[in-house]
């Protein structure tokens, strides 16, 4: 998990993310406070202790137990037993589910953002075609344009450039013929870690 790695190796401000997103994650304020306490403990050890949480929040231990149960039920934390070197059992906690929930939220954000961009590109292309043709597009023409975008057949910038270059010869077929002759330029893909860091820091500002 990228978020977990950033938290453990690069000291990602997960607390700021939780404070900003706790409502969207369907957490109450007390639950979020207890979860923040668990993250504070997590940096030092994985041993679960109500007393350790109580030192970090202003709730009674009985209430803390209730909030921990809620976090377990909502799938933010897992508590289990682990054997120590001297074979004694101790309670430990795992916050991987929280990392996964936050990542799922951001993935959904990206999906929604791409949907808006996608639809905006489609509408821009339709508008330019209709301006060039001086009429509304036929259903099959609209279907062709939709297919270009739904199947990522051609880059949006290339489509717009081909329409504008067509001038008086604007048509779906002419533009498509032009596009098929374009050799895609190689796209440099940044390192995954840099991309995620940049995206996350923008979100938590």
What pLDDT was estimated at residue 169? 80
Nearest-5° angle of CA 21, CA 34, CA 44? Answer: 105
- pLDDT reading at 73 higher than 90: yes
Element at 90 (helix H, strand E): strand 89-94
DSSP for residue 58: S
The matching CATH number, chosen from 2.40.180.10, 3.40.50.720, 3.90.1150.10, 1.10.10.10, for 2-101 is 1.10.10.10
Q: Which CATH number fits domain 108-180: 2.130.10, 1.10.8, 1.10.10, 3.30.300?
A: 1.10.10
Taking a C-beta distance cutoff of 8 angstroms, is the pair 94, 46 a contact?
A: yes
Q: Looking at residue 39, what is its pLDDT?
A: 95
The pLDDT-based confidence of 202 (bands split at 50, 70, 90) is low
Residue 79 contacts residue 93 (beta carbons within 8 Å): yes
pLDDT for 41 equals 94
Give the pLDDT confidence score for residue 186 in this predicted structure: 45
Query: What confidence category does residue 203 fall into, taking pLDDT thresholds of 50, 70 and 90?
Result: low
Share of the chain above pLDDT 70, in %: 88
Tens-place pLDDT, residues 77-89: 999 998 877 778 8
Q: What is the dihedral of CA 27, 31, 32, 35, to 10 degrees?
A: -120
- 150 or 191, which is more confident: 150
Q: What secondary structure does DSSP assign to 143-163, as a single string?
A: HHHHHHHHTT-S-HHHHHHHH
Domain with CATH 1.10.10.10 in the chain: 2-101
Mean pLDDT of the chain: 88
Q: What per-residue confidence (pLDDT) applies to 199?
A: 63
Share of the chain above pLDDT 90, in %: 65
Which residue bears the tokens 């820091």? 201
The predicted-structure confidence for 154-200, as pLDDT tens digits, reads as follows 999 999 999 998 877 888 999 998 898 864 554 454 555 556 656 66
């Amino acid at each position: 998990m990228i978020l977990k790695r950033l938290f453990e190796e690069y000291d990602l401000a997960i607390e700021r993310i939780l404070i900003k997103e706790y409502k969207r994650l369907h957490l109450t304020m007390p639950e979020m406070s207890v979860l923040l306490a668990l993250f504070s403990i997590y940096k030092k050890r994985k041993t679960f202790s109500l007393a350790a949480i109580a030192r970090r929040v202003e709730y009674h231990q009985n209430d803390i137990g209730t909030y921990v149960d809620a976090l377990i039920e909502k799938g933010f934390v897992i508590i289990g037993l682990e054997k120590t070197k001297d074979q004694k059992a101790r309670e430990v906690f795992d916050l991987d589910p929280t990392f996964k929930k936050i990542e799922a939220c951001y993935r959904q954000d990206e999906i929604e953002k791409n949907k808006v961009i996608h639809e905006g590109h489609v509408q821009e292309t339709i508008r330019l075609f209709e301006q060039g043709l001086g009429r509304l597009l036929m259903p099959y023409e609209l279907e062709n344009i939709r297919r270009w975008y739904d199947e990522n057949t051609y880059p949006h910038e290339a489509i717009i450039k081909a329409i504008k270059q067509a001038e008086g010869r604007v048509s779906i077929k002419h533009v498509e013929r032009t596009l098929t002759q374009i050799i895609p330029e190689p796209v440099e893909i940044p390192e995954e870690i840099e991309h995620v860091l940049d995206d996350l820091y923008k979100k938590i500002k």
